[in-house]
Amino acid sequence: MTPSRQNIFRPDIVLASSSPRRREMFAREGIPVRICPSGAEEHLPMELAPETTVMFLALCKAQDVAAKEEGLIVAADTVVVADGKIMGKPADEEEAFAVLSMLRERTHQVITGVCLIDNSVEPAAKRCLFEKADVVFGTYSDEELLAYVRTGEPYDKAGGYAIKETFGKYIDRIEGDRDNVIGFPMSRVLPYLKTDLEEGRRI
């Protein structure tokens, strides 16, 4: 009997995220997960490169959940970077308008850090990684941008947008992993989620 696709993945994966986009990606791959969002506060101890920042934040989230849950803990953090500077989640209409105006007709980077902690073994195993993609925005008028900002969509998203929602129509192209831009580099992480170590990888 051929095993189901679900059976090739570990049954004890804990996704430390409340992001519906990340949950959808795991469901798309047929990966069974328990959802346990992290309550870790996102405080950085020093000025870090964006790649280090996302891995550090993912590590904090994974450690927070690993203290409460047992299994393979998977945590992620995604940022938008322009000119080497992290563009956070806008707090209000003015900030969202300013950020997306600056990104108009330009290339920026989307970087996702992932941390995996397997605390089902002793000592616990840990791996952190990151994935980067370039996103090129096309043109849009101030009126179009203002209409988007007033939808309320920008406020829980890095850089003020999500490619699967309204603003996705203004993306000219993506150079890199599309899933990474959505918020999780699934193809990069997938081998670590498998039960068969001949097919998968040790974290």
Which residues are part of the catalytic machinery? 77
Output the six-digit token pair for 1.
């009997």
Q: How many CB atoms lie within 10 A of CB 99?
A: 22
Give the Cα separation of 135 and 140 in Å (integer): 15
The string of DSSP codes covering 88-146 is ---SSHHHHHHHHHHHTTSEEEEEEEEEEEETTSSSPEEEEEEEEEEEEE----HHHHH
